[in-house]
Structure 1
Amino acid sequence: MTSAPLLISLHMPKTAGTSLAQTLRVAFPDPGACQTEYVDQPMQYSRWCRRLRALRAGLAGRGALPDNLTCVHGHFLPVKFRIAAGARAVRYVTWLREPVDRLASHYHYWIRDYDGLDPRQPLRNRVLRERWSFERFALGAELRDLYHEYLWRFDPAGFDFIGITERYDEDLQQMARRFLGGTAVPASALVNPLRGESGYAISPGLRRRIEAYHARDLALYRRVLAGRRL
């Protein structure tokens, strides 16, 4: 029996992936069909460490993915599943958010309600221990062009769908029609109740510096936003 196509949903941090996970669980309700995978935590580790871990995990999983597994969602390098899936048909989806706003949300999430003691989150622990400012977080080498760090050895053109978080409701309906059998989906992304819809205040000067530093991610986001071919 031929396995159903596998939907690989890459959750870029702070792009409404928690809301999307709820939708995917509804769309794939059978036991074992939808798997959330957050054990990798790629950006907690150095570039070469996360790449090596992804390659090793992909090779270890090659030929071992259950036939009834139809969706995987979480933080991981998609090259891992490109290797693990072998000859199985795979569809890749992800979401992007304006990079400066995404960084601000990421920073405030990391420092909010966390004691800095989880050994599985060494970079986050360092951010708290050293009391990084948002400027240090956004202009440090550790998280530069995060989208492209996730997409190592994976061409963005390989995605079957890329949603834009700022138009979440509209794009989610499109994704549901294409990949989820038209499943009724939650209407809106979760937001930090402390911020609501207003976002975080960033001075124009700092925003320009961050945009320049994350130019590759910004260019990718703008191409997707404009609907241009990748």
Structure 2
Amino acid sequence: MILSVHIPKTAGRSFRTILQTHFKKGFLDDYVDGPLNRTLEESIKDANKFHKTYKFYRKYCYQLKGVDCIHGHFLPYKYRSECHNKNTMFITWLRDPIERLVSHYLYREKLFNEAEQQLPNTIKRRFSSFEAFCMNPKMQNCYAHFFYKFPLEQFAFIGISEYFDEDCMFFAETYLNTSLDIIPRKNTNSDKRKLVILDDTEFLNKIKALNSLDYTIYNLALEIREKRVSNDYE
């Protein structure tokens, strides 16, 4: 089984298309939790609640329905029972934390601008600016939130969004034993407007400091990818 952790605005929707196309009826979405809409304490509580009933889900919901891949917004800690299962692997995608914040903010703005009355229940607040968005503690260190008690080394594959095409092809060939003729692009933000604040070095340094946990995780993921790519060329 593949457990694919989709962190918002890291090309997860595009990658979902690849998984769904490959696994067909064996593919299952898990977007119930929405970790970024909860505090870490609430996310941990959700994960522990699910963990207590996981044997039931594994036997009757997954095995009987032939589920081979689960993809969505969830803490991998939720499925920690699978960590020692040699037939299960965890995968995820990461992106430069500031770039992810920009994309997340613009996506929310797009939703408000297009149809405020039809917004998802989870998106209730409109921020006055990108600066205000970044200063909100709930928007900081989302990788650290998602990876509670789950080190990067537990992941069999970590894609980097900046190398999306290359990493998708590697994943498909290595783990799905297939090749990709077309790399899907889903839910991408076509709004290329410039956020002037991004030219402010002092502001960027402040945001990097506020998201230091995420940059530590992201930089480690880059190192892991570099080793993988180096081994691939040997």
Stretches of 4+ aligned residues off by more than 6 angstroms: none
Q: What's the offset of the Cα at 1:136?
A: 1.9
Judging changes above 3 Å, is the alpha-carbon distance between structure 1 residues 176 and 111 closer, same or farther for their aligned structure 2 residues?
Answer: same
- 1:223 maps to 220
5+ residue gaps in structure 1? Answer: 1-5
Between 172-181 and 217-226, the greater mean CA deviation after superposition: 217-226
- The 8 Å contact of residues 63 and 86 in structure 1, kept in 2 or not, is answered as no
Asked if residue 208 in structure 1 is aligned to residue 201 in structure 2, the reply is no
- 1:95 maps to 93
- 1:59 maps to 52
Judging changes above 3 Å, is the alpha-carbon distance between structure 1 residues 224 and 48 closer, same or farther for their aligned structure 2 residues?
Answer: same
Asked if residue 37 in structure 1 is aligned to residue 30 in structure 2, the reply is yes
Q: What's the offset of the Cα at 1:82?
A: 1.8
Judging changes above 3 Å, is the alpha-carbon distance between structure 1 residues 21 and 90 closer, same or farther for their aligned structure 2 residues?
Answer: same
| Structure 1 segment 80-159 matched on structure 2, within 5 A | 80-83=78-81, 87=85, 89-114=87-112, 115=116, 120-121=121-122, 124-125=123-124, 127-128=125-126, 131-159=127-155
The correspondence for 2:158, drawn from 147, 155, 162, is 162
Judging changes above 3 Å, is the alpha-carbon distance between structure 1 residues 138 and 82 closer, same or farther for their aligned structure 2 residues?
Answer: same
Deviations 1:138-191 (A, max 9, x none): 122112210010001211110001010001000111111221122425325443
Asked if residue 16 in structure 1 is aligned to residue 11 in structure 2, the reply is yes
Q: Give the aligned length.
A: 215
Deviations 1:11-39 (A, max 9, x none): 1110001100110011112x2x1011112
Q: What's the offset of the Cα at 1:113?
A: 2.2
Judging changes above 3 Å, is the alpha-carbon distance between structure 1 residues 55 and 132 closer, same or farther for their aligned structure 2 residues?
Answer: farther
- 2:232 maps to none
- 1:3 maps to none
AA at the equivalent of 1:78: P
Cα distance in 2 between the residues matched to 1:216 and 1:116: 35
TM-score by length of 1: 0.84
Deviations 1:70-93 (A, max 9, x none): 001110001111237885731011
- The 8 Å contact of residues 106 and 189 in structure 2, kept in 1 or not, is answered as no
- The 8 Å contact of residues 94 and 160 in structure 2, kept in 1 or not, is answered as yes
- The 8 Å contact of residues 63 and 84 in structure 1, kept in 2 or not, is answered as no
- The 8 Å contact of residues 101 and 199 in structure 1, kept in 2 or not, is answered as no
Judging changes above 3 Å, is the alpha-carbon distance between structure 1 residues 86 and 157 closer, same or farther for their aligned structure 2 residues?
Answer: closer
AA at the equivalent of 1:217: D
Cα distance in 2 between the residues matched to 1:144 and 1:11: 17
TM-score by length of 2: 0.83
Q: What's the offset of the Cα at 1:199?
A: 7.1
5+ residue gaps in structure 2? Answer: 228-234
Question: Over the residues paired in the alignment, what is the CA RMSD in angstroms?
Answer: 2.3
The correspondence for 1:77, drawn from 75, 78, 93, is 75
